[in-house]
Structure 1
Amino acid sequence: MKTLTIRLTSPLQSYGNEASFARRTSGDYPSKSAVVGMVAAALGYRRDDQRISKLNELSFAVRVDQSGKNLTDFQTVEWKKNTRKITYRNYLQDAVFMVGIGHENDAMIDKIKQALKNPKFQLFLGRRSNVPAGILDLKSFSNTNPIMALEELKWQASPWYQEKKWCQTKQEFVEHIEIIADANLLPQKRSTLAKDQVESFDQRNRRHGFRPIAIEEVRLKNPYVERTQAAINPQEPNTHHDPMQFL
């Protein structure tokens, strides 16, 4: 199996679950349907394209490197003439996720990687207003499934967040980093159901089915420790100072 990892970060992200017009909440991490939708957009598939269902075959896992904070936005909408309605939208702010998608067909992963570098349609993280923070950081792993890739990949949280964790814990390793994956990738873990299997993106008949998922926790080294040690010359005094660290 070949695996592609994708670093997803943006000032705001939102991954809808059960929602009504009045309140649209967000999941705590990217759903498989959101990533399948992003890949489909990169490939140039329209919402009613039957090829989208083929993307459900991708093995999927996501690692929560920086969980971010919840933000609720409310909007006033003129629902009917002389009538206003308040709606609520939930977002994740300052979050960083590492997504791993894999397939036995290496050519399919190569095609997806090339499409994400040169997307046919705009890419967004859950909602159209939430565009990625720059060019996507992509890495390929041969003979590796998404779990193996995410267990191997360095912690990808923002540098300021890495420093914050070090200041809080003074530990070289970061504990309890969650990986949420297809249940068959974590057969030793207890599974639950998530409703994010794409059945149709057609706006006239949008549907999602259930898929089994499982969760594991990993322990990763904090890159901030290595950067700090490399920056300090033992022959010179340490004058490193970040004036923003107390904010």
Structure 2
Amino acid sequence: MPEYLIFQLAGPFASWGDVAPGETRNSYRHPSKSAVLGLVAGALGLKRGQEEELQSLNRSLGFAAYWHQRFGPLEGREYQSLLLEDYHTSQVDPADKKFNPQTRADELSGPKNNRSTILSTRQYLNDAYARVALWRAGEGAVDLGELAARLKAPVFAPYLGRKACSPALPFHPWLGEAKELLEAFLAYPAPLLVPPGLGPATLLWEDRGTPCRVEPTQRLSFRDALVSRDRWQYEPLTLCSRTLEE
């Protein structure tokens, strides 16, 4: 039977990266494959410049996500994951070979004539909770047991899409066998701290090397398949989608 690594992603804020041209930085309502593999790579101790290793992760692992938009009750309240927007400003100096500041204070002490302000609108998903699954779908895949161990003791500090988005709960990785993908998600032993989902759930999966007992109602395309981490290039990734009624 196929072997799956399933873990949870929970936090007051998450940002799952949509296409981000110019000043608008949108977020998906669900974890993206590139964000999850980035988290896993950091847990393993891989750095951004290790192009070959990052490409290997992308090629060799299949990806799926399972989530409810509403969950609860927790302390008498129901929760809903909603998108919010942050109007973000940052001020930076242009590159200057004659002036090499070592700290932000040094940078602010330099000439102010060329200092510019960058404006952007950034989306965050608040009260974010989802489960994700990874499985071996190609040659050279990392050992799933090693991934599970590193999610419990990551090399680099993990975050949910952006460094400002810290996880609120442990990842609680679970490694197990199942006949097909949905069975694996339903077998996941959710921690007691996690409130139950309400209403229909959504299953999103990559159709690579794993059976699934439900047929997709949609096939969605996301620009989320890694081409080059060095150049920040991604190509379309097609994922199957199905809303699961209670």
The TM-score with structure 2 as length reference comes to 0.73
Given the alignment, which residue of 151, 175, 182 partners 2:206? 182
**Residue number in structure 2 paired with 1:217:** 243
| SS of the residue 1:116 aligns to | helix
Equivalent in the alignment of 1:32: 33
Q: 2:129, 2:192 → 1: CA distance?
A: 6
Name the CA shift for 1:179/1:157 in 2 (closer, same or farther; >3 Å): farther
Dislocated runs of 4+, deviation >6 Å: 104-107, 154-158
Deviation readout 1:133-179 (Å, 9 max, x if unpaired): 132221111245543311444778976x64xx8xxxxxxxx542100
CA distance in 1, matches of 2:189, 2:91: 48
Matched to 2:235, the amino acid is G
Counterpart among 102, 116, 128 of residue 163 in structure 2? 128
CA distance in 1, matches of 2:192, 2:67: 9
2:132 is matched with which residue: 79, 99, 107? 99
> Could you tell me whether the CA contact under 8 Å between 1:183 and 1:191 is conserved in 2?
no
**Amino acid in the other structure paired with 1:128:** K
Q: Say which structure, 1 or 2, has more relative contact order (CA 8 Å, 6+ apart).
A: 2
What is the alpha-carbon distance in structure 1 between the residues aligned to residue 83 and residue 22 of structure 2? 19
| % identical equivalent positions | 24
More displaced stretch, 55-64 vs 182-191: 182-191
Give the gaps of 5 or more residues in structure 1.
166-173, 221-247
User: Aligned-residue CA RMSD in angstroms?
Assistant: 2.8
| 1:198 aligned to which of 226, 231, 245 | 226
C-alpha distance after superposition, 1:154-209 (max 9, x if no partner):
778976x64xx8xxxxxxxx54210011134558324232211122222xx11112
SS state at 1:94 partner: strand
Secondary structure of the 2:220 match is strand
Compute the displacement of 1:53 (Å).
Answer: 1.3
1: CA distance between counterparts of 2:47 and 2:116?
Answer: 35
Over 3 Å counting, the alpha-carbon distance change for 1:157 and 1:175 in structure 2 is: farther
When structure 1 is superposed on structure 2, of 175-184 and 4-13 the one drifting more is 175-184
Structure 2 unaligned residues grouped into runs of 5+: 70-79, 94-113
Contact 1:8 1:132 in 2 (8 A): yes
Q: How many residues align?
A: 207
Contact 1:2 1:102 in 2 (8 A): yes
1:207 aligned to which of 227, 233, 244: 233
- Amino acid across the alignment from 2:158: L
Q: Mapping of 1:3-42 within 5 angstroms?
A: 3-42=4-43
> What residue number does 2:47 align with?
46
Q: Contact 2:25 / 2:122 at 8 angstroms: preserved in 1?
A: yes
CA deviations on 1:83-121 (whole Å, 9 max, x unpaired) are 645321110000210111112699711011111111111
- Asked if the contact 1:38–1:123 (Cα under 8 Å) also holds between the matched residues in 2, the reply is yes
Point out the structure with the larger helix share. 1
The yes-or-no answer on 1:75 pairing with 2:88 is yes
The verdict on how the C-alpha distance between 1:28 and 1:180 changes in structure 2, with shifts beyond 3 A counting, is same
Q: TM-score, normalised on structure 1?
A: 0.73
Identify the residue that residue 86 of structure 1 maps to in structure 2: 119
